[in-house]
Amino acid sequence: MIYERRPEDMTRVTTPELAEAFIAEQVEALREQIGEKKVLLALSGGVDSSVVAALLIRAVGRQLVCVHVNHGLLRKGEPEQVIQVFRNEMDANLIYVDASDRFLEKLAGVTDPERKRMIIGGEFIEVFAEEARKLDGIEFLAQGTIWPDILESERGIKAHHNAGGLPEDMKFELVEPVKILFKDEVRAVGKALGLPDSMVYRQPFPGPGLGVRCPGAITRDRLEAVRESDAILREEFAKAGLEGKVWQYFTIVPDFKTTGVKDGKRAFEWPAVIRAVNTRDAMTATVEPIPFDLMNRIVDRITHEVPGINRVLYDYTPKPTGTIEWE
């Protein structure tokens, strides 16, 4: 059965058994809705789209066409993980588009944060639409809409981020199999579908990706410094048992340099800024008190392993007055 709204009396999907029951019901409903036709999905590798992909693969197999657009602003290892999990392990019909050059060319020299976001969002839709046009016989568009998205758009808090965006002439019937679920329920379903923990319990990651963590005009070398320092931070947090405990943590590399010294020589390089916050709903946030010895290890690794970084700073600002992201 396809629900338009979350039933008032619906039991929260918190256990593997409840997740299996939800999956069985949805698989049946999806098969009935889709029949022999084809479904298209923009697969970012985020929790919601990954769970939708896994659910549709279970229901209709290779009738689902997943498009993973790499905009060049993903975290280290992300596109590889999408290919590994979906193409290699789940035998998905996956189209991988490396559009990094195209995005970075469009973004070259652009410093205004809102313009950067517009360019990234607009280009994403363009690349996705181009891929969709190459395909024949697609009748459905799957989306990772979840229940809070619907509630927030109804309450006028934010536009439903999944809705629309494609050119007028591209009309598909929507398939939104997790739209009555809360985030924790989507994770429970993802786990039951066999997705790896690193995907199911991923920290939030903004659509414009590392682009908003590279303040000012994005350059390839600074973007690489953000990617590498972020990977080190994630690795050290995981080793220290903080993965899944701290709500969101990442690095930012601002576009100014300071004087430092490396190997006895002057090193005029960027600082990397660490952000690590806890929050309930992302409207306000507090700073995680990172233990001093862990911080020392992180500073040591980032300054020695990441080209172009000679200092590490910690952003101690709660939200408000800072936002979580820097742009």
Longest CA–CA span in the chain (Å) reads 69
The least distance separating ligand XMP from the CB of residue 230, rounded to whole angstroms, comes to: 12
Using the minimum distance from each CB to ligand XMP, give the nearer residue, 111 or 323. Answer: 323
206 near ligand XMP, rule: CB under 6 A: yes
| Locus of tokens 């410094």 | 225
208 near ligand XMP, rule: CB under 6 A: yes
Kind and range of the H or E element at 277? strand 265-278
Beta carbons of 24 and 18 less than 8 angstroms apart: no
49 near ligand XMP, rule: CB under 6 A: no
Applying CB under 6 A, which part among 2-10, 186-194, 202-210, 215-223 lies near ligand XMP?
202-210
Applying CB under 6 A, which part among 94-102, 127-135, 203-211, 310-318 lies near ligand XMP?
203-211
What gap in Å lies between CA 259 and CA 49, rounded to an integer? 43
113 near ligand XMP, rule: CB under 6 A: no
43 near ligand XMP, rule: CB under 6 A: no
What gap in Å lies between CA 206 and CA 71, rounded to an integer? 13
Using the minimum distance from each CB to ligand XMP, give the nearer residue, 177 or 211. Answer: 211
Burial class (CB in 10 A: 0-12, 13-18, 19+), 170: middle
Cα 131 from chain centroid?
Answer: 20
282 near ligand XMP, rule: CB under 6 A: yes
What gap in Å lies between CA 318 and CA 234, rounded to an integer? 20
165 near ligand XMP, rule: CB under 6 A: no
* Amino acid occupying residue 299: V
Rule CB under 6 A: choose which of 63, 145, 248, 251 binds ligand XMP.
248
The least distance separating ligand XMP from the CB of residue 179, rounded to whole angstroms, comes to: 17
User: Which residues of this chain interact with ligand XMP, rule CB under 6 A?
Assistant: 204, 206-208, 248, 282, 319, 323-325
